[in-house]
Chains A and B, each alone.
Chain A
C-alpha cells in the first residue's frame, strides 16, 4: 500500500507542482487586485468574478473568431463556423487540427494571439470596472454588493445558454497559443501567469508606496477628511476600480489558455468571488505578504485534497470536494474569530525620512475592520460620497 502511494506521489507530484503554481498565479492576481481595492482603498468589490468572466469569454468570443478568420484568409481548410451549430460542432476540428497545427510552426502568430487576448481582456476589464463604478457612486454599499454578486451569476447563466459566446453548455476549445513549445503547455502557462503576477505585484507595490497609495489609505481611514482637503474621493475610487478590474480580467484570459477550453463551469461565482475573498481575509487585508500567504495556503490545500481524493475516497461515501468546502469554510471562520486581522496583520505605514519615534510616542494600530466605517449615522453603512437623502 505504501509503495502504491509512493508511486502515485512520484507520478503526480511534478504535475501537481505545475498545477499549484498555475492556480497560485491565477488566484494571487485576483487576490492582489482585491487587496489593492479593499485592503488599501476600502472599495469592497464583490464582483471580481464578473471581470474574470469577461476576460475568459473575451478569449472564446474574440480571439477564437479572429484566429479562425485569419486562418481562413490564409487559405487553411477551416470548416464553416458562422452558425451556432457549426460554431460548436466544427470547433474541435478547427482548433485542434487546423489552428494548433498552424501555430506549431509559427510562434510569432501564437504570441501575437496571446498578446491580443491579454490586451482585449484588459480593455474589457477596465470597461466593466468603469461600469461598476457608475452605480457605485449613487448606491449604498450593501445594494452594490448584492448587485455585483448577482451580476456574476447572471453572466454565468448567459454564457451557459448563449451559444455564440462560448459554445453554451458544451464549451469551446480555444487555440493553444503555446503549440510551438515542444514541452508541457501547462508549465509555460504557469510560468507566464507567475510572471504576470510578479509584474502586477511590483506595479501594485509601487502604487501603494507612492503618494497616491497613501491617499488611498487615507480614503480608507476617513473619507470625509480626505474630501475636506480638496481631494476628489469619487474620482480616486473610480480610478482604483478601473485599474484593478483591468488586471483582474487578465486572469480570465490566462485561465482559458491554461485549459485550452472555455466553459461557464470554469468561471463560477464561488470560484472567482468567494475563494479570492477568502484568501484575502485569511491572509490579512492591507498587506501583500498576507495575500500571498493566504493564497498559497488555500490553493495548496485545495489542490492537494483534490488531486489525492482517490486516497480519501476509500474512507468516505461522499465526494471529497464537499468535505474540502466545509474544511475551508470552518478555517475561514476560525481565523476570522481568533485572528481578526488575518494571519499577517497590516504593518504600520513607513515613510522613509520621517522620525517616527519623535512623532508618535504611543502605539498606533490600524484597525482594518473599522474601515470602511460601519455603523455610522443610524446604523447605516454609507461607502460612497453622497449622503443619503431624507430617509423615509
Chain B
C-alpha cells in the first residue's frame, strides 16, 4: 500500500489538531472561556519529547505518557494559580481571556528560556528541530503515522466512553451544562474542574509531543497552531466535542492538502500560484466562512439537517438500510 507523503503528513497533522480541538472545546465547555494558552501546552509537549530524545537519549515514545502528565500538571497549576482564583473573584470573560493571553506569552517565554538553557548547557540546537531520525519505521511508514492515528482513535473512543458511561464523565457534562444545579445535586464541581483541566492540558501536551516527529518545531509552535485549533473547534460548533473531532480533523487535513494542491496547479508548465507561505490563512478562511454562513458550525448544520424534512427522511433511509 502506497500512501503519498503529503497525505501522511496531512493525516498526522489532522490527528494532532483534532486532539487539540477536543481539549479547546472541553475547556470552553467547563470554564466558559476561549483558552488562548491551549496551543502553548502543545509547546510544552514538544520540549518534553525533545528532552527525552536528545538530552536523555531515550526512545521518544517514552515521552508520550510523561508529556501527558507534565501537560496535565502545567494545566492544573495554571488553573489553581490564575484561572480558578480569577473565576472565584468573579472575573468576567474578558478578564479571563486577557489572563489566558498573558499565560500564553508567559509559557512561550519560559519555553524559550528553557531552550536557551539547553543550548548553554548541552550545546544542542533546541530552538528549531525535528526528531524524525529517532523514530522507528514500519513497512515503509514512519512510526508516527500509525501511532498518531492510533492515539487519535483511542483518545476519541476513551473520551466517548468516559463522557457517556463513567460517573466522572457524566458529572463533567453536568458541570458544563449548569454548575450551580450540579453542585446542588452533590457533584464536587471544583474537583471536576480540576480533572477537566488536567485532561485538556494532558491531551494538548500529548498532541504537542507528536508534533516534532514530522514538523519543524520551536518554542513558538504552540502559539502559531492556536488558530488552527480554534478554527477546528469553531467548525465543529464550539460547544460540541464530537463536532470538534470532525472539525479539527477537517481543518488540519485541508490546511496541508489545500495549500499543496493549489500550489501544484500548473498551466503550461508554469506554477499559477505560490501560496505556501499563506498556509496559516487557511484556518482563518475557514473561521470567517463558518461565522458568515453558519455560526454554529457543523453542529448547526447537523441540527438543521435533522430538523428538515428531506434530511430526516435521508437519515431514516440510511438507518433503515443498515438494519
Give the B-binding residues of A (Cβ under 8 A).
38, 44, 46, 135, 138-143, 145-147, 149-151, 153-154, 157-158, 160-161, 270, 273-274, 277-278, 281, 317-319, 322-323, 325-326, 329-330, 332-333, 336-337, 340, 367, 369-372, 374-375, 378-381, 392
A234 to chain B, nearest CB (A): 17
Instruction: Check A392/B300 contact, CB under 8 A, given A150-B230, A317-B116, A325-B109.
Output: yes
Q: How far is the CA of A374 from the CA of B90 in the complex (A)?
A: 9
Q: State which of A140, A141, A270 has its C-beta within 8 Å of the C-beta of B105.
A: A270
Instruction: Check A337/B281 contact, CB under 8 A, given A318-B116, A319-B116, A379-B179.
Output: no
Q: How far is the CA of A160 from the CA of B295 in the complex (A)?
A: 29
Residues of B contacting A161 in the complex (Cβ-Cβ under 8 angstroms): 277-278
Q: How far is the CA of A332 from the CA of B32 in the complex (A)?
A: 21
Residues of B contacting A379 in the complex (Cβ-Cβ under 8 angstroms): 32, 178-179
Other than the given A147-B291, A326-B113, A336-B95, 16 more pairs (CB < 8 A) read A44-B94, A139-B295, A145-B34, A146-B287, A147-B288, A150-B230, A153-B227, A161-B277, A274-B102, A317-B120, A322-B112, A329-B109, A337-B82, A337-B89, A379-B32, A379-B178
Q: Check if B8 is an interface residue, CB within 8 A of chain A.
A: no
Q: Check if B216 is an interface residue, CB within 8 A of chain A.
A: no
Main secondary structure of the interface of B (DSSP, over half): helix
Residues of B contacting A369 in the complex (Cβ-Cβ under 8 angstroms): 89-92, 95
Q: Check if B36 is an interface residue, CB within 8 A of chain A.
A: yes
Instruction: Check A392/B94 contact, CB under 8 A, given A142-B34, A329-B103.
Output: no
With both beta carbons as reference points, the residue of chain B lying nearest to A337 in the complex is identified as B85
Residues of A contacting B53 in the complex (Cβ-Cβ under 8 angstroms): none
B185 to chain A, nearest CB (A): 16
Residues of B contacting A317 in the complex (Cβ-Cβ under 8 angstroms): 116-117, 119-120
Give the A-binding residues of B (Cβ under 8 A).
28, 32-34, 36, 81-82, 85-86, 89-95, 97-99, 101-103, 105-106, 108-110, 112-113, 116-117, 119-120, 178-179, 227, 230-231, 234, 238-239, 277-278, 280-281, 283-284, 287-288, 291-292, 295-296, 299-300, 303
Find out whether the CB atom of B91 lies under 8 angstroms from the CB atom of A146.
no
B58 to chain A, nearest CB (A): 25
Residues of A contacting B281 in the complex (Cβ-Cβ under 8 angstroms): 154, 157-158
Find out whether the CB atom of A326 lies under 8 angstroms from the CB atom of B109.
yes
Q: How far is the CA of A340 from the CA of B89 in the complex (A)?
A: 8
Find out whether the CB atom of B303 lies under 8 angstroms from the CB atom of A392.
yes
Q: State which of B178, B179, B234 has its C-beta within 8 Å of the C-beta of A146.
A: B234
Find out whether the CB atom of B178 lies under 8 angstroms from the CB atom of A153.
no
Q: State which of A139, A150, A323 has its C-beta within 8 Å of the C-beta of B113.
A: A323
Q: State which of B102, B231, B277, B284 has its C-beta within 8 Å of the C-beta of A151.
A: B284
B304 to chain A, nearest CB (A): 10
Closest 10 CB pairs of A and B: A318-B116, A329-B106, A374-B92, A322-B109, A325-B109, A317-B120, A329-B102, A154-B284, A322-B112, A161-B277
B123 to chain A, nearest CB (A): 12
With both beta carbons as reference points, the residue of chain A lying nearest to B116 in the complex is identified as A318
Instruction: Check A143/B105 contact, CB under 8 A, given A151-B284, A278-B98, A340-B89.
Output: no
B242 to chain A, nearest CB (A): 13
Find out whether the CB atom of A333 lies under 8 angstroms from the CB atom of B93.
no
Find out whether the CB atom of B291 lies under 8 angstroms from the CB atom of A135.
yes
Residues of A contacting B90 in the complex (Cβ-Cβ under 8 angstroms): 367, 369-370
Instruction: Check A150/B103 contact, CB under 8 A, given A325-B109, A375-B32.
Output: no
Looking at A161, A336, A375, the one whose CB has the most chain B CB atoms below 10 A away is A336
